[in-house]
C-alpha cells in the first residue's frame, strides 16, 4: 500500500506543530522518521491515525485522496499504530485486547471467545510470535506487550504500521528481537513508519530516513548516504558532539555508602531487595536496568521520599535513613527526579520561583514577611544566562518551556546548593541531542568538582558514556557492578537477569 501525506499543517494555538509536511511511504518500505522532541513527529502520526484533525493537507492512499477523521477510519484504511505508551488495557487478556473494537459475536450479543482465540493463535503463528491469548496483559513483560500491540494492528489487516518510539522501553535483546519482527513484516509486503531518537537503529534498519525539525521536513535520505553525525546535525541544525568528553575520574573517599537496602513499592511488594554499594567523591556510578526493576524506589529511598524497610544509607558518616526530606537535602543530596514535570517542578509557577523551590528556607531568600523577591528574581536572571535556558524572562511560567529547558531549570536549581551527592534519575529522558550534550557536560563537570554522582538511566548509551562504574539492577538487586568498557551484549544479559558465562569471575 502506498501512502502519501501532502502539505499537512497543524497549529496548536500559535505554535505550528506541522508546517507543510510531505511524506511518501512506498509499499514494503521501512521509513524512519527522525527528529528532536517537539519536532512534530508524533503530531504527524496522530494526524495520520485520525487522533488529531489537521488544519490543512491531504492524505493519499494508492494515489487516491482519502479523509481520516477518527481512528476507526484509519483502521478501515489499513493503517495500524503501535503507540509509545501502549494502548492496551492492563487488566484484560491478550485476546480481549486484540479483539476489542471488532469482536466476533455469536450468538448476538455474546462474544465468541473460541473463534477469537483461534484467529489470534493462527495470526501469531503466521508472524512467529509466541503468545498465550488467555494471559493478562499486566503480567507480561514489556516486549511481549509490544507484540500484542503489533498483533492487534495486524489483526485489523494493517498494511502500514506506525511504530512510535518502540525501542525506548525495551532491553537491547528485546530491541534486537523487534528488528527481526520488523524485517519479517517488511518481507510480507507491509510498510512500516518507524519513529525513533536512536541514530544507530535508524542506520541499521531504515530504507528511507525523513528528518523533521520544528514541524518541518528538513531532508530525506537513506542509510547509505549518511552517518550518525550527519543525521544529528540535520536533526538539531548545528554540529553536535555525540561523544561525552570525559577526562578520567580521580575518586576520593567514599561519600555515599548504602548497605542492605530494602524498600517496598506502592503495592507493598518488596521492590529493592538488599542493595549495597558505595559512591566515592569525584566518581559517577551509573545504574543500568530495564524500567520497573526497583530504580524508582531506590531513588526515592535515597532521597528520603520513600520509607526504607531495612538497611542504611550513610552520607559522610551520618545516617540518612529515617530523616526528613529537608534534612536529607540539607545534608548535601541533590536530586534530579525521574519525572521532572510531576516531581521536579511546579509548572504553573515562574522560572525564578522554581529555581529556588528547595531553598526558600535559607536566609538568602527568606525575609521576615515572606520571600525576598528581589533576590529570587536576580538569581533567576543569573541562572537563565548561566545555563542558557531559552526563555523570554525569569517570570515566564515553566509550562511554556520545552522539555530540555525545563530539565535545565531542575539541574540549575540542584547545582546551586552545596552538594556532596547528586542523584540523577533519567537525566536526559525525552531530551533532544543538543540538550543531552549539555546535561552530560554538566554532570561530568560536577563530578570533577569532587561531588559523588549517581546516575539512573534506562538508556544503555548514556550509562556507558557517563559511568565510571556501571551497576546493573535486576529484580531489585544489583546483578553486578562492572566497568563501563563491558560489552553491550554482556550488559544486556545482566539487565535481563542472566550472567555472561565466559568471564563471570573476571568482573567480581
Partner 1 sequence: MSIAPEIVTPEIVTLENLRQITRERALGYGITLILIGVLEVLWFGGARSALKTTIEFGYNSSSAMPSIASALRIIPLFLGLLLLAPVASHSARRFIPERFKFTKGVRNCFIIVGGYLVIWPIALWFGVNSGGALRTLTIPVSTSGYVVGILTMVAGGLLAWRRFDRGASPLLYVGLIVFMLGFLVWVARGSNVSGLHLQLTGILAAAVAAATFLIFGSLSGTLCERSGVVNIAIEGQFMTGAISSVMVVSALNGTGISKLLGVLVAGILGALIGWVLAVMSLRYQANQIIVGIVIVAFCTAVTQFIMFQVLTTHQNLNGAYALPVWAVPFFSHIPIIGPILFDQNILVYVAILGVVIVNIALFRTRWGLRVRSVGEKPIASETVGVSVARMRYGAVILGGFVAGLGGAAFTIGPGTNFTFGMTNGYGYIALAIMIFGRWRPYGALMASLLFGFAIALSANLNIYLSQLVIPQQFISMLPYIITIAAVAGLVGRIRPPAADGVPFSRE
CB of 28 or CB of 172, closer to partner 1: 172
Q: b/e per residue, 465-487, with b = 16+ CB within 10 A?
A: bbbbbbbbbbebbbbbbbebebe
**C-alpha–C-alpha distance, residues 216 and 234, integer Å:** 12
**Does residue number 207 form part of the binding site for partner 1 (CB under 8 A)?**
no
Helix/strand/coil for 130: coil
**Does residue number 115 form part of the binding site for partner 1 (CB under 8 A)?**
no
Q: Which of 148, 365, 474, 486 binds partner 1 (CB under 8 A)?
A: 474
Q: Which of 30, 36, 96, 422 binds partner 1 (CB under 8 A)?
A: 96
From 189-197, 274-282, 289-297, 411-419, give the range in contact with partner 1 by CB under 8 A. Answer: 289-297
CB neighbour class for 52 (10 Å; exposed up to 12, middle 13-18, buried from 19): middle
**C-alpha–C-alpha distance, residues 112 and 460, integer Å:** 44
CB of 75 or CB of 321, closer to partner 1: 75
Q: Which of 56, 62, 102, 399 binds partner 1 (CB under 8 A)?
A: 102
The DSSP secondary structure of 235-258, one letter per residue, reads HHSS----S---PPP---SEEEEE
Q: Which of 268, 317, 370, 505 binds partner 1 (CB under 8 A)?
A: 268
**C-alpha–C-alpha distance, residues 162 and 262, integer Å:** 41
Q: Which of 110, 224, 369, 485 binds partner 1 (CB under 8 A)?
A: 110
Residue 481 CA to chain centroid, in angstroms? 23
Q: Which of 57, 223, 292, 434 binds partner 1 (CB under 8 A)?
A: 292
The helix (run of H) or strand (run of E) holding residue 429 is: none
The C-alpha cell at 299 is 531513588
216-221 and 254-264 beta bridge pairing: unpaired
**C-alpha–C-alpha distance, residues 85 and 212, integer Å:** 21
Residue 402 CA to chain centroid, in angstroms? 15
CB of 379 or CB of 457, closer to partner 1: 457
**Does residue number 107 form part of the binding site for partner 1 (CB under 8 A)?**
no
Q: Which of 55, 62, 72, 126 binds partner 1 (CB under 8 A)?
A: 72
Shortest Cβ 102–partner 1 spacing (Å): 7
**Does residue number 293 form part of the binding site for partner 1 (CB under 8 A)?**
yes
Site string for partner 1, 127-166 (x = CB under 8 A): -----------xx-x--x-------x---x----------
Helix/strand/coil for 277: strand
Window 441 to 470, contacts with partner 1 (CB under 8 A)? none
Shortest Cβ 87–partner 1 spacing (Å): 4
From 208-216, 415-423, 436-444, 483-491, give the range in contact with partner 1 by CB under 8 A. Answer: 483-491
**Does residue number 16 form part of the binding site for partner 1 (CB under 8 A)?**
no
Q: Are 84 and 164 in contact (CB under 8 A)?
A: yes
**Does residue number 66 form part of the binding site for partner 1 (CB under 8 A)?**
no
**Does residue number 269 form part of the binding site for partner 1 (CB under 8 A)?**
yes
From 124-132, 254-262, 450-458, 488-496, give the range in contact with partner 1 by CB under 8 A. Answer: 488-496
**Does residue number 503 form part of the binding site for partner 1 (CB under 8 A)?**
yes
- Sole residue written with cell 545482566: 494
How many residues bind to partner 1 according to rule CB under 8 A? Answer: 53
The CB-side HSE value for 146 (13 A sphere, CA atoms) comes to 24
Span between the terminal Cα atoms of the chain, in Å: 54
- Give, in order, the Cα–Cα distances in Å from 63 to each of 25, 76, 161, 289, 497: 12, 17, 18, 46, 49
CB of 71 or CB of 484, closer to partner 1: 71
**Does residue number 52 form part of the binding site for partner 1 (CB under 8 A)?**
yes
User: Rule CB under 8 A: which residues touch partner 1?
Assistant: 49, 51-52, 70-72, 75, 81, 83, 87-92, 96-97, 99-103, 105, 109-111, 138-139, 141, 144, 152, 156, 173, 267-269, 290, 292-293, 474-475, 487, 489-490, 493, 496-503
Amino acid at each position: 500500500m502506498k501512502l502519501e501525506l501532502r502539505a499537512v499543517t497543524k497549529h496548536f494555538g500559535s505554535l505550528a506543530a506541522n508546517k507543510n509536511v510531505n511524506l511518501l511511504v512506498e509499499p514494503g518500505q521501512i521509513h524512519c522518521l527522525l527528529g528532536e522532541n517537539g519536532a512534530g513527529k508524533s503530531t504527524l502520526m496522530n494526524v495520520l491515525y485520525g487522533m488529531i484533525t489537521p488544519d490543512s493537507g491531504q492524505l493519499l492512499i494508492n494515489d487516491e485522496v482519502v479523509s481520516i477523521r477518527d481512528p476507526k477510519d484509519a483502521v478501515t484504511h489499513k493503517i495500524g499504530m503501535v503507540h509509545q505508551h501502549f494502548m492496551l488495557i492492563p487488566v484484560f487478556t491478550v485476546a480481549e485486547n486484540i479483539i476489542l473494537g471488532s469482536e466476533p459475536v455469536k450468538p448476538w450479543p455474546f462474544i465468541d471467545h473460541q473463534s477469537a482465540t483461534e484467529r489470534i493463535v493462527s495470526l501469531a503463528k503466521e508472524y512467529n510470535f509466541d503468545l498465550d491469548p488467555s494471559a493478562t496483559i499486566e503480567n507480561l513483560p514489556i516486549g511481549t506487550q509490544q507484540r500484542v500491540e503489533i498483533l492487534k494492528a495486524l489483526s485489523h489487516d494493517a498494511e502500514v504500521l506506525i511504530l512510535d518510539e518502540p525501542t525506548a522501553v525495551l532491553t537491547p535483546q528485546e530491541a534486537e528481537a523487534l528488528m527481526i519482527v520488523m524485517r519479517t513484516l517488511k518481507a510480507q509486503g507491509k510498510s512500516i513508519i518507524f519513529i525513533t531518537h536512536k541514530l544507530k537503529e535508524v542506520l541499521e534498519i531504515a530504507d528511507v530516513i525523513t528528518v523533521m525539525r520544528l514541524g518541518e521536513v528538513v531532508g530525506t535520505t537513506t542509510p547509505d548516504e549518511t552517518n550518525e553525525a550527519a543525521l544529528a546535525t540535520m536533526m538539531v541544525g548545528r554540529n553536535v558532539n555525540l561523544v561525552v568528553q570525559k577526562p578520567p575520574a580521580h575518586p576520593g573517599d567514599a561519600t555515599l555508602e548504602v548497605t542492605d537496602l530494602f524498600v517496598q513499592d506502592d503495592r507493598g511488594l518488596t521492590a529493592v531487595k538488599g542493595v549495597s554499594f558505595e559512591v566515592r567523591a569525584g566518581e559517577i556510578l551509573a545504574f543500568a536496568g530495564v524500567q520497573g526493576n526497583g530504580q524508582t524506589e531506590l531513588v526515592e529511598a535515597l532521597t528520603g521520599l520513600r520509607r526504607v524497610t531495612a538497611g542504611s544509607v550513610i552520607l559522610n558518616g551520618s545516617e540518612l535513613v529515617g530523616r526528613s526530606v529537608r534534612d536529607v537535602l540539607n545534608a548535601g543530596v541533590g536530586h534530579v527526579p525521574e519525572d521532572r514535570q510531576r516531581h521536579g517542578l511546579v509548572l504553573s509557577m515562574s522560572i525564578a520561583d522554581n529555581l529556588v523551590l528547595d531553598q526558600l528556607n535559607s536566609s538568602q531568600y527568606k525575609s521576615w514577611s515572606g520571600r525576598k523577591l528581589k533576590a529570587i528574581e536576580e538569581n533567576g536572571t543569573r541562572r537563565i544566562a548561566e545555563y542558557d535556558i531559552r526563555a523570554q524572562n525569569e517570570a515566564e511560567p515553566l509550562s511554556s518551556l520545552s522539555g530540555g529547558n525545563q530539565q535545565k531549570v531542575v539541574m540549575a536549581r540542584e547545582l546551586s546548593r552545596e552538594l556532596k551527592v547528586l542523584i540523577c534519575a533519567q537525566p536526559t529522558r525525552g531530551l533532544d541531542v543538543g540538550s543531552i550534550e549539555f546535561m552530560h557536560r554538566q554532570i561530568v563537570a560536577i563530578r570533577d568538582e569532587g561531588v559523588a554522582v549517581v546516575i539512573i538511566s534506562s538508556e544503555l548509551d548514556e550509562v556507558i558514556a557517563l559511568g565510571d562504574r556501571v551497576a546493573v539492577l535486576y529484580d531489585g538487586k544489583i546483578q553486578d557492578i562492572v566497568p563501563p568498557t563491558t560489552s553491550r551484549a554482556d550488559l544486556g544479559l545482566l539487565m535481563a537477569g542472566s550472567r555472561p558465562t565466559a568471564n563471570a569471575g573476571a568482573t567480581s
